Structure 1
């Protein structure tokens, strides 16, 4: 059996996070949706990917997997990239369909295609920009129970604590910080419940740092650094090469690789390669790649009246009720803000925004915006790409031709939208 994660037509509500990546490359905690699905089917012979045409080359390069092509008539379990592969009846049913080599069928939930099992998959299936119920023709249909699909931006934060605990269980190598002699943990660091703290090779914990696993486990990936006086409260997962800056207070959050994190951060996901290195609060938020926060930038995550927070939804072109009391900032890739920037409760900032100035930013900032509260203009595409090249070079990365084409396509869509 081969896996094929696909994109459907339910992506607009996940803008701007799904603008510059395939939906299954979004993190649900430390691991991506792709990670969790692949790990849920360990017996799969291989993994294929389907993405929107504009994302195909970027997705293939990011994941080093065959994208938008099926080589021959393979037996394929197609899985929606928005599917959360957590233990339960839905996952067990999909495993059984493939393991028992059942007849081809489509698995649905409330009208969405969750998966499709095809013992002989048509190689032309992946030609479509989005796979929908029509893609799978007249295959018989079966409704899946208790299925979870990521359909809105805040769904990426729902159940974050549970996701972090699953990440810890999946990534922890079976021994804790006290059993890893090569971990550089200073004797003046404080470890609370160290049996639930796991450090990978190359981690450093400096004097005065506090790792507190009382409320949940802590996982520090390869070559992470926790500086002097920082406090990390579990559950928390920190990706490779990331730095928790001196005197930071971190809890209930996940950070991908090459992030710098300072100030106060709680219940937040930072995808990777982004910096919030200075004082300031970030809570109940989701930050993409290549983002940067100026010193003393803050977001609100709770309304003064304690009511539910609304959030901009691209599909509705309006603000919709999240039914969450706590909801902070969603920031797309390559966006940056200057010192003392303030974000209101439930703010969505698009891709490639450069924000600065006093007062609260608007609660919806479109892609490629430049300016602040009083005046914003269109961020010139050529200038934005030059900045991206400079920023990426600092991490020994380059903007590929495919990546440049993708970002230009996003910019052009903004131009068309006005």
Structure 2
């Protein structure tokens, strides 16, 4: 039986990040949500289903198999709680569908008629939850990296809690940088270069082929993005092919220490979190001296310049 990782209607909660990625293509830790699910079902064919306009190998026709919601944050118990073998069944957690096993009927019919089973799983519902789970997920994902090539660091680099730092193949940390992994792990992806005199604070996950300078902490860089100069990025999710100009800095804490609000589907949503940075979608650019307000979202292909503080939401292609 195949596993089909699918995307439900809650991808809207993750916009603008999910304009160019299915929700299961977002990173949490080192790997994407889809990669975490697939890891729990080894030697099983994995298929994907998402919005028609995304360039993903999609399931063109709903067939039979084990359909797993792409927002599941998979752990080592997933395949036991939701096994491949069995009868038609719908797995739920609270009021959300976690998975559907379609054996004798197709997906849609099983969803309506099959018996349900309650399971305990973590479902990611909002983008700031990816940051909240970052530390534990880097620790979990690094187990799959054993035996892989390691990167290089200059002899002058200072590392606090070195056992909590992972340099993947081709990663380079240049002179005078400080990697502080005392409060969480730090992962630096393949081919990524950490520029001289950079300060990194864990938990932190930087994807492949990034260029990082200044101060970065408690954030996810999806990959292929540049923040080469001074400035601070914290508690944030940075997409692919993003370029942050010199001095670009985000706020991740309000002056009155109240919980941060983020615009979700056009309305201000209280995250309940004291520390929330920004969410920058693919191909966005910021000019020098850009100051990003707390809980801001910046859309796909946006060009933010002119200095000063950004609005709470920057639309795509602005």
TM-score relative to the length of structure 2? 0.93
Q: Any unmatched runs of 5+ in structure 1?
A: 61-66, 126-132, 174-199, 370-418
Shift of 1:70: 5.8
Aligned to 1:86: 75
Among 274, 289, 299, the alignment partner of 2:240 is 289
Q: Any unmatched runs of 5+ in structure 2?
A: none
Aligned length: 314
SS in 2 for 1:86: coil
Among 175, 190, 196, the alignment partner of 1:246 is 196
Aligned to 2:178: 231
Residues 219 and 202 (structure 1), Cα distance of their counterparts in 2 relative to 1, 3 Å cut: closer
Shift of 1:166: 1.0
**2:211 is equivalent to residue 298 of structure 1:** no
**2:153 is equivalent to residue 205 of structure 1:** yes
Within 2, Cα distance between the matches of 1:59 and 1:15?
A: 18
Residues 137 and 353 (structure 1), Cα distance of their counterparts in 2 relative to 1, 3 Å cut: same
Aligned to 1:59: 56
Residues 91 and 45 (structure 1), Cα distance of their counterparts in 2 relative to 1, 3 Å cut: closer
Within 2, Cα distance between the matches of 1:320 and 1:11?
A: 16
Residues 135 and 365 (structure 1), Cα distance of their counterparts in 2 relative to 1, 3 Å cut: farther
Within 2, Cα distance between the matches of 1:70 and 1:239?
A: 35
Structure number with the bigger relative contact order (C-alpha 8 A, sep ≥ 6) is 2
What is the Cα-based RMSD across aligned positions, in Å?
1.9
Which has the larger helix fraction?
1
Within 1, Cα distance between the matches of 2:146 and 2:264?
A: 36
Shift of 1:93: 1.2
Within 2, Cα distance between the matches of 1:134 and 1:233?
A: 52
Spell out the pairing of 1:329-348 with structure 2 (5 A cutoff): 329-348=278-297
Spell out the pairing of 1:6-405 with structure 2 (5 A cutoff): 6-42=6-42, 44-55=43-54, 58-60=55-57, 67-69=58-60, 76-88=65-77, 92-95=80-83, 98=84, 101-120=85-104, 122=106, 125=107, 136-145=111-120, 147-173=121-147, 200-201=148-149, 203-213=151-161, 217-234=164-181, 235-252=185-202, 253-314=204-265, 317-369=266-318
Which has the larger strand fraction?
2
Shift of 1:351: 0.9
SS in 2 for 1:12: helix
Shift of 1:136: 2.4
Shift of 1:212: 2.5
Which structure has the larger Rg over C-alpha atoms?
A: 1
